[in-house]
Chain A
């Protein structure tokens, strides 16, 4: 496992929760936030994935802990938030990244049980769970004033949530819903100083690595259609966008989706 180096102070004294941080994009975001001084709670479904990432962050001088969390259950998300605040006294940044159930299917053959419910639960329901559990603490963070906090909700969506998907038909509406939630909460929470934004990444996640293994031509195809000619790095590319949205630098940005995919989708 790569060692993250604790280098900055842009999120010093801030506390962040990142769901699905045991691997992939969530791991990259957790590492990047920790590099800039945030105390990071890795809300992972399995300790076997969350703990090693937390250990690696600590080994590099960062502050990180794993709290086993099932984002498909509202009680579990609430417990994670409560425990975070009990241990660290505050919560400033909530990142919902976890997502399960995206397997290829045709829309006309899809069933709710097999192809929809898990994506809806881990994607959309979990957005609401994260929002309602984190809200009072994000509100408190914003009341601390510029430079001292600022509530941030960051949702990880997908380019497919904008342009539809030919392979995973129902993945797209689940991810689209997250963008609409972000815009709605940006309006709802704006007067409180809380910002809500989305990132739509294409990055070297474990899921993408498996897809490349199954279909070696896919990597070439993605790189060929991407102006920057490569797949994004979970920490340097995606984590850095999350860092921007989590930091004071983005205090006047809300309700937006940043498509972070090397320029392969240019439709906004």
Chain B
């Protein structure tokens, strides 16, 4: 069975050769903080965040000028039972800002898309709702439109930003 990241990636469409889309890959298995053994921290935090950092470096060395990181919204909202995964998500969202600050002078723009956590298989009945307000929209959401735009020439003056795609849960 493909990972959630693979599935999300397959839905984003083709991107230009000067662009790179990095989909943060987290595990959807919940684990309470007291149960986070060293092995689990390695698996749920260290490996995924190192992968994001390495992929950003690879995008830079490949000469990409449009870089988009798609990350689950739980980084911004927090999630009970998913603290290690939320740490990865937020770390990925914020390293985007460091990259944007350092690489902007070279014409490289770097942005983040925070995608609703259901797309990553996060169980909201465990994690808790991202907001006390109900989701504004009822339709399924896709990050394809915003990712395609961020990879285009039109987005050349936009960097270090986070675009939330969740049907209006987190505002």
Write the residues of chain A forming the contact surface with B, with a CB cutoff of 8 angstroms: 74, 106-108, 110, 112, 116, 120, 124-125, 128, 131-132, 135-136, 161-166, 169-170, 172-189, 255
Contact = CB atoms under 8 A, between A and B. Distances in A.
Interface stretch (B12-20, B99-107, B139-147): B99-107
B65 to A, nearest CB: 14
B93 A128 contact: no
Interface in B47-67: 49-50, 53, 56-57, 60-61
Given A176-B90, A176-B93, A187-B128, A107 B75 contact: no
Residues of B contacting A: mostly? helix
B95 A120 contact: no
9 contacts: A107-B103, A120-B49, A128-B45, A132-B33, A164-B99, A165-B97, A184-B79, A187-B80, A188-B81
Interface stretch (B3-11, B34-42, B149-157, B163-171): B34-42
A184 B83 contact: yes
A177 B38 CA distance: 17
Contact of B98 (A74, A107, A120): A107
A120 B99 contact: no
Interface residues of B, number: 48
Contact of A183 (B33, B77, B160): B77
B89 interface: yes
Contact of A107 (B38, B74, B90, B95): B95
A162 B145 CA distance: 26
Contacts of B101: 164-166
Given A135-B34, A172-B98, A177-B49, A128 B41 contact: yes
B91 A176 contact: yes
A165 B98 CA distance: 5
Interface of B: 32-36, 38, 41, 45-46, 49-50, 53, 56-57, 60-61, 74-84, 86-103, 127-128, 160
A211 B100 CA distance: 24
Contacts of A108: 57, 60-61, 102-103
Contacts of B46: 120, 125
A161 B101 CA distance: 14
Given A107-B57, A108-B57, A112-B50, A172 B86 contact: no
Contact of B95 (A124, A169, A186): A169
A176 B94 contact: yes
A105 to B, nearest CB: 10
